[in-house]
């Protein structure tokens, strides 16, 4: 995740000097067209196959496990930069753009998923129950993110931004802003906290120290919780991290060190 963000920043540094329309074209072309490259096998490039894995095809190489390739994440970052002008708008047109973009992305996702011909490497298949059908419908590819994955997540996020804009003076938004002001800080810290907590819970329940020793590369037999347990753990970790995030956000507000902007 972090390497993909860093590499995308380097590419974006080269893009920011180009016209805004070009940045938008770059972002939309990669987001909507990258699934055309799904059939390209790194083995086709011989000893240079690792380079294609870095660009688009997750794989295990002799040097690294590549899970987050550059494409299309570099395009998502470019899209975020391209969309920055939205937040310079007045409130009413900004809400319209955010809501409209969210509805459009969601509608495109539904249409492409029903057509089942492009946008995700795993076509949707009918299931035995309504619930399973819904879950299968939204079960789209993340590594790398397919066009459908990006449409449904960006669409949902855009509509949530519009909704939060309407209550931006509320307590919930102020709490969320604390995390938003320290994105990399909370990202790294939540991984450490969640893994440590899971390891200690496993140890307390009699599963031994396996989850503390191997960074979750192997899980004890019988270990795990249902979806409700996952949500409870997620919220608990965020609550535990809130004081640290609030402290660091205050440090960033008071100090102007250049490196703080990256955390």
Evaluated on CA atoms 223, 227, 232, 234, the torsion sign reads: positive
Quick one: angle between helices 171-180 and 227-254, nearest 10?
A: 70
Q: pLDDT confidence of 136, banded at 50, 70, 90?
A: very high
The answer to whether residue 209 scores a pLDDT higher than 80 is yes
Measured distance CA(20)–CA(30) in Å, rounded:
16
The enclosing H or E element of 65 equals: strand 65-66
188 vs 14: CA distance, rounded Å: 27
Confidence check: pLDDT of 216 > 80: no
Does the predicted model carry a pTM greater than 0.75? Answer: yes
Overall average pLDDT of the 207-221 stretch: 78
Secondary structure percentages of the chain, helix, strand, coil, to 5? 70, 0, 25
Q: In the predicted model, what is the mean pLDDT of residues 35-57? A: 88
pLDDT band at 215 (very low <50, low <70, confident <90, very high): low
């Amino acid at each position: 995740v972090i390497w993909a963000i860093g590499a995308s920043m380097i590419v974006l540094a080269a893009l920011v000097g180009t016209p805004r329309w070009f940045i938008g074209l770059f972002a939309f072309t990669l987001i909507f067209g990258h699934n055309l490259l799904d059939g390209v096998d790194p083995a086709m490039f011989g000893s240079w196959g690792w380079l294609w894995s870095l660009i688009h095809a997750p794989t295990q190489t002799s040097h690294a496990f590549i899970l987050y390739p550059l494409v299309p994440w570099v395009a998502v970052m470019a899209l975020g930069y391209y969309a920055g002008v939205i937040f310079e708008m007045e409130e009413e047109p900004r809400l319209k753009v955010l809501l409209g973009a969210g509805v459009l992305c969601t509608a495109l996702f539904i249409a492409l998923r029903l057509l089942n011909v492009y946008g995700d490497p795993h076509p949707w298949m009918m299931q035995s129950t309504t619930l399973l059908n819904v879950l299968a419908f939204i079960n789209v590819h993340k590594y790398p993110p397919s066009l459908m994955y990006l449409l449904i997540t960006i669409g949902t996020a855009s509509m949530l931004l519009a909704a939060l804009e309407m209550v931006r003076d509320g307590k919930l938004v102020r709490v969320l802003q604390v995390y938003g002001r320290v994105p990399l800080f909370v990202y790294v810290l939540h991984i450490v906290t969640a893994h440590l907590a899971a390891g200690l819970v496993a140890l307390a329940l009699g599963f031994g120290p396996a989850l503390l020793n191997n960074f979750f590369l192997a899980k004890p037999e019988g270990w795990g919780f249902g979806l409700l347990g996952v949500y409870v753990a997620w919220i608990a970790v965020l609550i535990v991290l809130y004081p640290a995030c609030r402290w660091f956000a205050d440090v960033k507000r008071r100090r102007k060190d250049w490196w703080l902007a990256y955390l």
